[in-house]
Structure 1
Amino acid sequence: MDTFHSKLHYYLVTHPTITTFEWKPNHTWGASPLFLTTTLFTYLSLTFTLRHVTIPTITPIILRLISALHNLILLTLSLTMAVGCSLATISQMPTHRWIFCFPNPTPPRGPVFFWAHVFYFSKLIEFIDTLLIILSGSSRRLSFLHVYHHSVVVVMCYFWLSTSQSLLPVALVTNASIHVLMYAYYLLCALGWRPWWKVLVTNCQIVQFVFSFLVSGLMLYYHFTGSGCSGFGGWCFNAVFNASLLALFVNFHFKNYAKKNKEKGF
């Protein structure tokens, strides 16, 4: 067991590639405003174009296999990020306060920021979600919430790294953990079994946003009663984004679950 833990810790925390990671503007892959804007423009343009043109159909079996593989990759990646960032945080933090408030200034380097960089690029892989929805012909699933979330979360991750944003470890671990549950659900659906706990995924996402506001209160306390927390500007963007997502998810929950239960007489 000790051997397994030491190997896990090496490959997720103390590997030279991880320990020496540093986010350098216009040098690290993806660390430029041009990369960010080009990526978002390409995603939104392709989504709009493919949504309004006729594309070759894919047989349901092939589409299910592609979807299953995609969800398996993201499930595995999300689990790896959740475990990796948790171990990296324990290893890198000087005190428990560091989890909620990076000292100002904090350079974006080390294991935690390595996993934030992986998380950033995982959001680009998630763009494939949109393509699979378009190929399935399910226009109802291609909602404003879906496209808005996939687009702006990339900007959020960019700010995490470029501003060395406080609360980054908490946000990454909670989000990646919920995505393990979410992609497990989608994987099972792609394999032909629709679990009963779809509503649990949405509920967990709502709880995540509420939790983010609660821990933000602790960060704000540290920020205004001490020497300040790193990445406060990035946190402000993150807070507004989370508030908008919370409102959209609550609305989604009401439309998809509350109304259905009311119609059934529950």
Structure 2
Amino acid sequence: MLQEMKEIGSHAIDIYDYLVAGVDPRVKDYPLMQSPIPMTIILLCYLFFVLYLGPRIMANRKPFHLKETMIVYNFLLVGLSIYIVYEFMMSGWVTTYTWRCDAIDVSDSPQAMRMVQVAWLFWFSKIIELMDTLFFVLRKKSGQITFLHIFHHSFMPWTWWWGVGYAPGGMGSFHAMVNSSVHVIMYFYYGLSAAGPRFQKFLWWKKYMTAIQLTQFVLVSLHATQYYFMDRCDYQFPIIIHLVWIYGTFFFILFSNFWVQAYVKGKRLPKQGVQPCQNGKAAIYANGKHHENGVKHGMANGTSNGSAHLENGSAPMGKMKKA
């Protein structure tokens, strides 16, 4: 038995060494890219804090408001997302890529290295975005810390570490560019929402955030689907395409269900605190949340101001049975 365990351990180490050895040498000098262990530790600490330590620390404490912090945080992410989109475009997507079967440029040319850099930066932005959940914990918005939210915020950074490590660029980077484009809109929305009720009149388009998300998943899945109908494609890591297709399709289904429940069946109508406002609209301020026209504020893609978080798969699945 002991010998078998040693053999299993030896095989596991061999597999680990093999996988790490395959990481693109061009990214190994970037922070946290020498090994998947530091990244994995960060994500485990994140899970430990949001699922166990954080709620216990906050159990007998008043929630933090963090208004100014969240405004700065959200608008900094807007700026970062704009920069990431621009770099993806200039690194290939509007310069040399065909938008079909684009192989990874494995050279050390300036453009290839530019793509490597922005691919890493996209991954690192996912580490920064772990703060979304930390804000929920510190503000005692436990209803927003759903299974899907945590799954997305932990699973995506972990898988993208391998994506950047093996495939920094090419066809598989399309979804990263699209996702960052959505983040420009999303965090701008969050920033305005966090600024308080006086900015609510500028958030009339909140319902369309879910539509933007659905469009994202359609584009990503359609782009990946091309691969299955090509006579020949020299993209070096087809498994990335498979994962992107599964991811896009999976979240399209979840968000479609959310859209039906929220806007077709109207199962997210507020139950209390209705106050008449101009133009026949109702504004509800309960526990720092804003509602309009009977629809819960943040219904479409959530807000950082205590409303539901719907970012790229982090749907407000509380009260929706995590579906």
TM-score (norm 1): 0.78
Residues 156-189 of structure 1: CA deviation (Å, up to 9, x unaligned): 3223212316423421221111101100100001
Q: Which amino acid aligns with 1:213?
A: S
Aligned position for 1:253: 259
**Distance in 1 (alpha carbons) for counterparts of 2:170 and 2:205:** 32
By how many angstroms is 1:100 displaced?
3.3
Given that 1:149 and 1:245 are in contact with CA atoms closer than 8 Å, whether structure 2 keeps it comes out as: no
What is the number of equivalent residue pairs in this alignment? 237
**Distance in 2 (alpha carbons) for counterparts of 1:33 and 1:262:** 40
Aligned position for 1:15: none
Q: Which amino acid aligns with 1:191?
A: A
Aligned position for 2:133: 130
Where does structure 1 lack aligned partners over 5 or more consecutive residues?
A: 1-20
**Distance in 1 (alpha carbons) for counterparts of 2:104 and 2:64:** 54
By how many angstroms is 1:142 displaced?
1.6
| 1:219 maps to 2:227 | yes
Q: 3-state DSSP class of the match of 1:204?
A: helix
- Give the % identical residues: 25
**Distance in 1 (alpha carbons) for counterparts of 2:116 and 2:105:** 14
Question: CA 1:87 to 1:71, structure 2 compared with 1: closer, same or farther past 3 Å?
Answer: same
Aligned position for 1:100: 100
Q: Which amino acid aligns with 1:217?
A: T
Q: Which amino acid aligns with 2:177?
A: V
Residues 32-83 of structure 1: CA deviation (Å, up to 9, x unaligned): 22133222211111110245314243553xx111111110111110011111
Question: CA 1:50 to 1:218, structure 2 compared with 1: closer, same or farther past 3 Å?
Answer: same
Given that 2:172 and 2:241 are in contact with CA atoms closer than 8 Å, whether structure 1 keeps it comes out as: no
Q: 3-state DSSP class of the match of 1:117?
A: helix
Aligned position for 1:197: 205
Q: Which amino acid aligns with 1:238?
A: V
| 1:57 maps to 2:65 | no
**Distance in 2 (alpha carbons) for counterparts of 1:241 and 1:191:** 33
* Alignment counterpart, residue 216 of structure 2, candidates 208, 212, 217: 208
| 1:121 maps to 2:159 | no
Aligned position for 2:241: 235
Question: CA 1:258 to 1:156, structure 2 compared with 1: closer, same or farther past 3 Å?
Answer: farther
Q: 3-state DSSP class of the match of 2:56?
A: coil
**Distance in 2 (alpha carbons) for counterparts of 1:171 and 1:161:** 13
Where does structure 2 lack aligned partners over 5 or more consecutive residues?
A: 1-24, 270-292, 295-323
Q: Which amino acid aligns with 1:152?
A: F
* Alignment counterpart, residue 174 of structure 2, candidates 165, 170, 192: 170
RMSD after superposition: 2.8
Larger CA deviation: 203-212 vs 167-176? 167-176
Aligned position for 1:28: 30
Q: 3-state DSSP class of the match of 1:28?
A: coil
Q: 3-state DSSP class of the match of 2:265?
A: helix
Point out which structure has higher relative CO (alpha carbons under 8 A, 6+ apart): 1
Q: Which amino acid aligns with 1:197?
A: W
List aligned pairs for 1:41-56, cutoff 5 A: 41-55=44-58, 56=61
Aligned position for 1:184: 188
